[in-house]
Homo-oligomer: A and B are copies of this chain.
Amino acid sequence: MNAPLPRDPIADAQRNWERHGWGDVAAPMAAITAIMRTQQILLARIEGALKPFGLTFARYELLALLSFARSGALPMNKASALLQVHPTSVTNAVDRLEKAGLVVRSQHPTDGRTTLIELTAEGRTLAKSATAVLNTEVFSQSGFADRDVDQLIRILGDFRRGAGDFSE
């Protein structure tokens, strides 16, 4: 962990942008850069909390998704769509989860192209434990004020809708 910088590097970048004649886009640039950095910080915290479980965030997300599915099983393509990641990323995650005995692949009953991912009992237990740790160690101490959390959900929700993530 590095020592804090004396000054905010993103605010510096914003000033540089303004100084070089890009004042009209300096603010969005700073906001976007801040999102990049914030994501990086949060991801590191999450990965740290999950490490004792032998899970990464990508694998945890898949486990959590499955644990909320009624039947405990989902087609790969459904998981890819809901997690909003590339199909090959799901293949990768399932490979490792399967090797760890947390999920199993099975054939879709009617569509021969489709592979179902299903939680094992072990996977379900681990998902529950990991969720509890994540909630108490990361989400409950996010570092955001309650009011800011609501603002973020609203602002980023608008953005994601505008970007075509969902229609609703």
Q: Which of A4-12, A90-98, A99-107, A111-119 contacts B (4 or more CB under 8 A)?
A: A4-12
What is the chain B residue whose CB lies nearest that of A44?
Answer: B163
Number of copies of this protein chain within its complex: 2
Please state if B144 and A155 are interface contacts (CB–CB under 8 Å). Answer: yes
Asked whether, in the complex, the Cβ of A166 is within 8 Å of the Cβ of B8, the reply is yes
Q: A39-B36, A166-B4, A168-B6 are in contact. Are A29 and B158 (CB under 8 A)?
A: no
Cross-chain contact B29 with A135 (CB below 8 angstroms): yes
**Is residue A16 contacting chain B, with contact meaning CB distance below 8 A?**
yes
A11 near B157 with CB under 8 A, answer yes
Complexed CA–CA distance, A84 and B135 (Å): 26
Within 8 Å by CB of A32, from B24, B142, B155, B158, lies B142
Query: Contact string, A10-42, partner B, CB cutoff 8 A, digits 1/0?
Result: 110100100000101101111110111111111
CB nearest neighbor in B for A42: B32
Determine how close the nearest CB of chain B comes to the CB of A34; give it in whole angstroms. 4
- Counting CB contacts under 8 A, is A121 at the interface? no
- CB within 8 A of A140: which of B25, B150, B161? B25
A159 at interface (Cβ–Cβ under 8 A)?
Answer: yes
Given contact pairs A28-B149, A37-B165, a sample of 20 additional A-B residue pairs in the complex whose CB atoms are under 8 Å apart = A2-B81, A4-B164, A5-B81, A5-B166, A8-B160, A8-B161, A9-B83, A22-B135, A24-B140, A25-B135, A29-B139, A31-B144, A32-B139, A35-B38, A36-B39, A36-B42, A37-B84, A37-B160, A38-B156, A38-B160
Flag whether A129 is at the interface (Cβ < 8 A).
no
